Structure 1
């Protein structure tokens, strides 16, 4: 084993993939059905939301959603492998960890906004956010954590959003063609 990976447990880097898989299993199991069942209520509660959002949510089906999760698995696995190969130094890996943690916080905010369960909100406080904080702590102790500022947070959210959009575009293309 190289010096750069010796003192950072693979649990830190491959833990991203494991935590993500557990979290997204919840989203696959409950996401599309929850959206379908709650769409009328959401439309009433949030009348100012753009019509484009409602149309996009109406189009979510189980098969396409599951394929999108599979596409995202490739991205998360690549981030985990890159993190492992660089001993956690990879900006791609650290951005994925940060984006994943912020994603978990967004799930909690969604649950607060609807005043109840939303897909992803059950695993976020017990898996997503704790993993992200733990991994950042391990990277910090190993002297590998990149500084985080508002620009980095915005960049991480943008990258996570882009990966999500890309995953759904790939899924739509594969499922509908």
Structure 2
């Protein structure tokens, strides 16, 4: 179950890997028109090369693999594993909200309801059945707070690593 987090993440991020760079390039004009109040500097950060996407996904692979390993070592009791598991489930819900707001396809929205959310719910239920609480209290708060920090961090590091 703990390594299932990494497997579910890999399936989900394969979709993002295949679509993210191309989608950001084609979606940007539509988003700029819809949200003219957003400064150009913010829109420029949305420009992602395939190389940056590859690097960011590779960096996130390290985070998710480390969390899965921590979960495996502790029988799912690792706070790190629980936080990443909960954050991964939230990530799936964020994909659905993004696509609803965009009113169309966004990278990751296909695997979010088919892989991310079902795996996350199953894993949390399996842990709960074993007496291991996940999804409330500290893991929920940490997952909610750290998800955007980690996502922005790996994206920023990927951009930095790929500067020419």
Residues 162, 21 of structure 1: alpha-carbon distance in 2 compared, 3 angstrom cutoff: same
SS at structure 1 position matched to 2:113: helix
Decide which of 11, 15, 18 is 1:29's aligned counterpart.
18
Contact 2:52 2:162 in 1 (8 A): yes
Find the counterpart in structure 1 of residue 145 from structure 2: 158
Find the counterpart in structure 1 of residue 114 from structure 2: 126
Deviations 1:30-86 (A, max 9, x none): 01101101110011122333444212102x111011111000000000000000001
Q: State how many pairs are aligned.
A: 164
Across the aligned residues of Structure 1 and Structure 2, the Cα RMSD in angstroms comes to 1.5
Determine which structure has more spread, i.e. the larger CA radius of gyration. 1
Residues 110, 147 of structure 1: alpha-carbon distance in 2 compared, 3 angstrom cutoff: closer
Task: Give structure 2 stretches of 5+ with no counterpart.
Answer: none
Find the counterpart in structure 1 of residue 53 from structure 2: 65
Task: Give structure 1 stretches of 5+ with no counterpart.
Answer: 1-11
CA-CA distance at 1:165 after TM superposition: 2.1
C-alpha distance in 2 between matches for 1:71 and 1:13: 19
C-alpha distance in 2 between matches for 1:56 and 1:174: 15
CA-CA distance at 1:171 after TM superposition: 1.6
Determine if the alignment matches structure 1 residue 14 to structure 2 residue 3: yes
SS at structure 1 position matched to 2:162: helix
CA-CA distance at 1:19 after TM superposition: 0.3
CA-CA distance at 1:147 after TM superposition: 5.8
Residues 50, 107 of structure 1: alpha-carbon distance in 2 compared, 3 angstrom cutoff: farther
Residues 154, 167 of structure 1: alpha-carbon distance in 2 compared, 3 angstrom cutoff: same
TM value normalised by structure 1: 0.87
Deviations 1:94-124 (A, max 9, x none): 1001100101100000000011110000000
